[in-house]
Amino acid sequence: MYEEYFPERLAQLRTRKGVSARDMSLSLGQADNYINSIENRKMLPSMAAFFYICEYLCVSPREFFEEDNPYPTHLSELIIDLKKLDENALKHMSWLVSIIVGRK
């Protein structure tokens, strides 16, 4: 299951970050084709390399595998900001989001 999901998710998050596979590989201290090899299902990273990949993409390992979260970086930043709001402001934001997603 994850042998199929992992390469697709990696490509998705890397593309959203706006970086090439080559640049990401080199930034991780790997050969220039490292990320390409993972995305083309030729290999999977070691656990240590996976953590470096997550750090590079600014996602937690949990967020990497959240299939229903296509924008983990944005969501994490939003949650950090929402935690700073008082109860009244949080209620207003909740109301606004419910309108945007069509619940109200």
Does one domain contain both 36 and 3?
yes
Distances (CA, A) of 56 to 9, 30, 45, 89, 94: 14, 13, 14, 33, 31
The reply to whether the predicted model has a pTM over 0.95 is no
What is the count of structural domains for the chain? Answer: 2
Provide the residue range defining the domain that includes 78.
Answer: 71-104
**CB proximity list for 69: less than 8 A, separation 6 or greater:** 63, 75
pLDDT, residue 4, reads: 87
Does one domain contain both 62 and 79?
no
Does one domain contain both 12 and 58?
yes
Instruction: Summarize pLDDT for 38-97 with one digit per residue, the tens.
Output: 999 999 999 999 999 999 999 999 999 998 888 998 898 999 999 999 999 999 999 999
